[in-house]
Structure 1
Amino acid sequence: MVYGRRWAGRLSVLNVLPPRVANTLFAPIAALKPVVHVNKIASFVLSSVQESGSHDICLFDDKDCNPFYRAVRRCGDFAAGLIIVCLMWWLYLPIWALVRLQSSGPGIFAQARVGQGGKDFTCYKFRTMKVGTPQLGTHEVNPSSITVIGSFLRRWKLDELPQVINLFRGEMTLVGPRPCLPEQTDVCLARKEAGVDVLRPGITGLSQIQDVDMSNPARLAFSDARYRATRGLILDLAIVLNTLGGKGRSDRVRISANQPAPL
């Protein structure tokens, strides 16, 4: 949606209101879909700086500047966290016990991940790999490092249940780019160049339901940047529904001819 100083179409009723009131009422509408002010388009067209290359150029209003969008997202994070705890609380102890019984080490795995603005935070998951597994991207890990119960947990995304802690802390959000490891410098650099590092990492995201993982940093950064440009409450809801429908996946372990598949 493109808008300017005056409103047109169904929003023309806002023209009779003071600008501050009209802008306040427009915020919930702008939170639903991507919008851009006409001045941003005009400035780009009239700019003397010529963009080179064949990459896509997306002009958009940053949703983080929309207070209504931020409030609904934060409330959604709390609501999702409460729903997960209320419906799945009985699973936490059995999963923790199974993880501990199958292999030595803690049941819950605390790992440093790269968060909003490039700052590290502690991400919590049920441990799915053996203790001593190198700090690498999932696609780089030897499949034999994944435990039997860990393979099951990852398949059904149950290993991510402890991330409700990160939701409540505000370190993660329900929908956003998946957080990478500090050691994945290629992913961090690609995301920074694409302007994605300003986003809060999410439990699920557009890249996940489109089957884009961290094995291809450039493609992942492009997908995450497209999410930033086109996000809105409608897209966020669609991503959550697609994830619940089974489209959202964790990064998969890459199996080579010389590596045994996990049991």
Structure 2
Amino acid sequence: MKRCFDFLCALFAIILLFPVILLIALFVALLLGWPVLFCQIRPGLYGKPFKVFKFRTMTNARDDLGELLPDADRLTSFGLFLRKSSLDELPQLFNVLLGDLSLVGPRPLLMEYVPFYSEEQARRHNVRPGITGWAQVNGRNAISWDDKFKFDVWYVDNQSIWLDVKILILTVKKVIIRDGISAKGHVTIERFTGGQK
């Protein structure tokens, strides 16, 4: 039932927002360059890797040695707008159609974090990851990693269609007020290096 709900909602959203998606893609191409999508391998259901799609929000600016500049130096005002409005996440609706993502579930983090998870934290992979989740509506990137994982595991143990609907409604509210977009002192959130239970 959850998969059917995800597929139908994502398909409806893509049809409804298709002009917006095309317009953003055009602006990304003009202001940030090509490709317009940022693709990255993330752990999905049971930790199986998949490719997540997002609109790119940073340039490819490099230093004299050819190394990419720090994220804060490559993030443009337009890219920051996409992040604050969560419009950079729209391509993930296609991940939902493909079955890699759910609308609601623990956010798919970086593959490099997986070895650092405790056994309890790793339970977040027992469900399909989501575009939004319980941690996102309870602080997003402004909360600690410890709290984030606790919210993720709580969702795993309490998931339901009605909880998903509640989280989706709360997500719209969070997006409108642009709450919890970044951790203090970071463009998004500090890196996870383990050590938290």
Match of 2:85 in 1: 156
The change in CA–CA distance for 1:246 and 1:214 in structure 2 (over 3 A counts) is closer
Q: Distance in 2 between matches of 1:80 and 1:246?
A: 19
* Deviation, structure 1 residue 193: 4.1
- Structure 2: which amino acid aligns with 1:158? L
Match of 1:102 in 2: 31
The change in CA–CA distance for 1:163 and 1:194 in structure 2 (over 3 A counts) is closer
Q: Distance in 2 between matches of 1:110 and 1:201?
A: 16
Match of 1:65 in 2: none
Say what the alpha-carbon RMSD is for the aligned residues.
Answer: 2.5
The change in CA–CA distance for 1:78 and 1:250 in structure 2 (over 3 A counts) is farther
* Deviation, structure 1 residue 251: 5.0
Q: Distance in 1 between matches of 2:79 and 2:44?
A: 24
1:208-243 Cα distance to aligned partner (Å, 9 max, x none):
000043973322211111111222222111101111
Matches within 5 A, 1:199-238: 199-213=127-141, 216-238=144-166
The change in CA–CA distance for 1:107 and 1:192 in structure 2 (over 3 A counts) is farther
Give % identity: 33
The change in CA–CA distance for 1:121 and 1:87 in structure 2 (over 3 A counts) is same
Match of 2:182 in 1: 252
Match of 1:15 in 2: none
* Deviation, structure 1 residue 97: 1.5
1:185-206 Cα distance to aligned partner (Å, 9 max, x none):
46x6147645222111000100
CA contact (8 A) 2:124 2:156 kept: yes
The change in CA–CA distance for 1:183 and 1:108 in structure 2 (over 3 A counts) is same
Q: Distance in 2 between matches of 1:115 and 1:214?
A: 23
Q: Distance in 2 between matches of 1:168 and 1:74?
A: 9
- Structure 2: which amino acid aligns with 1:208? Q
1:82-104 Cα distance to aligned partner (Å, 9 max, x none):
22112111012221121121123
The change in CA–CA distance for 1:169 and 1:132 in structure 2 (over 3 A counts) is farther
Q: Which runs of 5+ in 2 are unaligned?
A: 63-69, 187-197
Q: Distance in 1 between matches of 2:49 and 2:171?
A: 26
Matches within 5 A, 1:1-263: 71=1, 73-131=2-60, 142-185=71-114, 189-190=117-118, 193-213=121-141, 216-246=144-174, 252=182, 254-255=184-185
Three-state SS of the structure 1 residue aligned to 2:141 is coil
Match of 2:194 in 1: none
Three-state SS of the structure 2 residue aligned to 1:104 is coil
1:53-98 Cα distance to aligned partner (Å, 9 max, x none):
xxxxxxxxxxxxxxxxxx2x11111121122112111012221121
| TM score, norm. by length of structure 1 | 0.60
